[in-house]
Amino acid sequence: MLKGSGLSFLMEAHNGLSAKIAEEAGFEGIWGSGLSISAALGVRDNNEASWTQVLEVVEFMADATTVPILLDGDTGYGNFNSARRLVTKLEQRGVAGVCMEDKLFPKTNSFLRSTAQPLADVDEFAGKIRAAKEAQRDDDFVVVARVEALIAGHGMEEALRRGEAYRKAGADAILIHSKERHANEILQFKKEWGDRLPLVIVPTKYYTTPTDVFREAGFKIVIWANHLMRSALTAMQAAAKAIHANQTLVGVEEKVAPLAEVFRLQGENELEQAEKAYLPKGGPVARGIVLAAGRGDELGELVADRPKSMVPIAGKPILEHILDAYRSANVRELVVVRGFAKDAVNVQGATFVDNDAFATTGELASLAAAKSSLDGPCVVSYGDVLFKKYVLDELLETQGDFVVAVDSMPAEGKKAGKADWAICSEPHSRKTLLANVLLKDMASEASASVSGEWTGLLKLSESGAKAVREILGTLEGKELASASVPDLLRRLVREGREVRVVYTRGGWLDVDTLGDVLKGSTFE
């Protein structure tokens, strides 16, 4: 950028997230602003953040990006020895360069009491520049000398004298700084300086000057020095005020970045792929399919603009609890079928498929939407049913092409009501711990013949998944639209397939009502 033709631009960043945003916006390089880093840490721009703390921040910035970073190194954090150690540590972290200013340590921000700020001795600072250049091991590392003479009121002649001394000391470029609201003295400096070294400018104060003026004058780099930090500050203040005043997120949530965008910038997708590559599969079943297309009208206002699966319980959506339960059992390839308000289903670590006909179809239509995922062992569950790890573990450990988990002691309120009742070959007893209990039928009403309530969990072997995929392929139109997973289980039984039963007592929660939402807060 310093040696090439034309004018280049550096955008300020103050942490890994803002650095990545600057790179994605198209900037060729990043300015690691001392002011912004200090502000983000909640301290003054007076070297109150130690150089090692700044180094830690800029390391995160370098890790998050691929474009070069020029760090605002203040005065070099001490004498020549501090400066050369700083260069060594920056090179180790992949930082492309450092800019040091000719003021005394500890420094004060240039726009605060500027004319009262003493400057460093020219020869002492030149020695610091020379030490920094001799300390570098990467030929491409850049040391920029920042001249503060104009800011401090010492005039053009002193600014030129200092710039020349720093050029002779080995600086790769000169940053000439000004606090004036017009670019006259900057342009005068460039005219008298000529092309002895590339010039870098920071037009924070003279921002109304057209950029083409800088381009035509022959400057090499323009630094936009603190605008990501300042824009974030304005947005955070507005959000905090609104939330405090209104005691609700309504009116704010739609104006802020969705969590999915935060997770994207953090690289969550890469981690998801890495987990699939490096983590153990956790046995023969590595995939979970969650049917979460329905709205859940019974929850009223809670589902006005989101599906039931995204209703929060104990601080996070129902769906996140479900996915966490799968992960805890090492089922890590997770597929979620969305429908109502699908854009609101933005949890991380899952692949999404959509049932756009959710309003006129049911459970099997949602499963059919994920038919391509029925290509190996898997577990199918609902997006409104919480379950504990031990229930899932029992299901995963039981052999069979089709295995269901049945609660032999369902909640009091459901014993006589409508539910997915299971009629099994044997009731739950000590004898059935070792017996091969099979599903005989499914019922919608409680009766003496039922053995318990189906929990909504169905495990399929590879051949079981293939059989279900074939069944789904035979269903069309109204038959598919109206069919439920219990209907699928009935068909499997009618066809003479063994559907094994694993009995449990509790350990799951079907979130149907507001009362269930409250129960969920203590479910963990």
Return all residues near 265 (Cβ < 8 A) that are at least 6 apart: 17, 20, 21
| Residue 489 binned pLDDT confidence (cut-offs 50, 70, 90) | very high
Residue in 485, 396, 474, 486 with CA at minimum distance from that of residue 450:
486
Instruction: Note whether residue 1 is domain-resident.
Output: no
Global pTM reads 0.67
> What percentage of residues in the chain have a pLDDT greater than 70?
95
Does the pLDDT of residue 415 top 80, yes or no? no
Q: How many distinct structural domains can be found in the chain?
A: 3
Q: Both 201 and 273 in a single domain?
A: no
Report which secondary-structure segment, H or E, holds 520: helix 514-520
Among 31-40, 268-277, 449-458, whose mean pLDDT is lowest? 268-277
Q: Radius of gyration over alpha carbons of the chain, in Å?
A: 33
pLDDT at residue 283, as a whole number:
56
Q: Token pair of 291, please?
A: 């049917």
Decide: helix, strand or coil at residue 355. Answer: coil
Query: Could you tell me if residue 75 is inside a domain?
Result: yes
Lowest-pLDDT choice from 34-38, 195-199, 274-278: 274-278
pLDDT above 90 for 381: yes
Residues 325-360 have pLDDT tens digits of 998 888 888 999 999 999 999 888 899 999 999 999
Flag whether pLDDT at 302 surpasses 80. yes
Looking at residue 167, what is its pLDDT? 98
Query: End of a domain among 207, 225, 243?
Result: 225
pLDDT, averaged across the chain:
91
* Same domain as 371, residue 506: yes
Q: Which two tokens stand for residue 190?
A: 């460039």
Say yes or no: 247 and 286 in one domain: no
Instruction: Return the sign of the alpha-carbon dihedral for residues 11, 14, 17, 18.
Output: negative
Residue in the block written with tokens 């405090």:
244
From 45, 74, 384, 407, the catalytic residue: 45
Residue 228's pLDDT band, with cuts at 50, 70 and 90, is very high
227 DSSP assignment: H
Q: What is the mean pLDDT of residues 110-130?
A: 81
Lowest mean pLDDT among 174-183, 201-210, 281-290: 281-290
Q: What are the residues whose beta carbons fall under 8 Å from the beta carbon of 73, sequence distance 6 or more? A: 34, 83, 86, 90, 98, 99, 100
CA distances from 363 to 290, 358, 370, 445 (A): 10, 9, 11, 19
pLDDT at 192 over 70: yes
What are the angstrom distances between the C-alpha of 364 and each of 293, 465, 477? 11, 14, 12
- Same domain as 76, residue 194: yes
What is residue 172's three-state secondary structure? Answer: coil
Percent of the chain past pLDDT 90, that is, above it, reads: 73
Q: Which uninterrupted H or E stretch holds 166?
A: helix 155-168
204 and 309 together in one domain: no
Residue 343 has what DSSP assignment? G
Q: 102 and 238 share a domain? A: no
Return the number of other C-beta atoms located less than 10 Å from residue 352's C-beta: 15
Condensed to tens digits (0 to 9), the pLDDT of residues 43-99 reads 998 889 999 999 999 999 999 999 999 999 999 999 999 999 999 999 999 999 999
Same domain, 163 and 232: no
Q: How many angstroms separate the CA atoms of 280 and 329, rounded? A: 11
**Is residue 193 a part of any domain in this protein?**
yes
Burial class (CB in 10 A: 0-12, 13-18, 19+), 210: exposed
Would you state the pLDDT for residue 281?
57
Tell me the per-residue pLDDT of 96-110, one tens digit each, with 9 for 90 and over: 999 999 988 766 666
User: Mean pLDDT over residues 399-424, rounded?
Assistant: 80
From CA 277, how far away is CA 93, in angstroms rounded?
Answer: 28
Domain range for 195: 8-225
pLDDT at position 177 over 80 = yes
Integer distance in angstroms from the first to the last C-alpha of the chain? 55
Q: What is the pLDDT of residue 413?
A: 44
Average pLDDT over residues 473-477: 88
Whole-angstrom distance, CA of residue 103 vs CA of residue 76: 10
Tokens linked to 276: 């699939």
Do 464 and 453 have their domain in common?
A: yes
Using N-to-C axis directions, what is the helix angle for 184-193 and 155-168, rounded to 10°? 50
- Domain with 354 in it: what CATH number? 3.90.550.10
Q: 288 and 247 in one domain? A: no
List of residues 6+ apart from 338 with CB closer than 8 A: 292, 293, 307, 345, 352, 353, 354, 355
The per-residue pLDDT for 491 is: 95
pLDDT of residue 110: 60
123 a catalytic residue: no
Q: Which has the higher per-residue pLDDT, 277 or 123?
A: 123
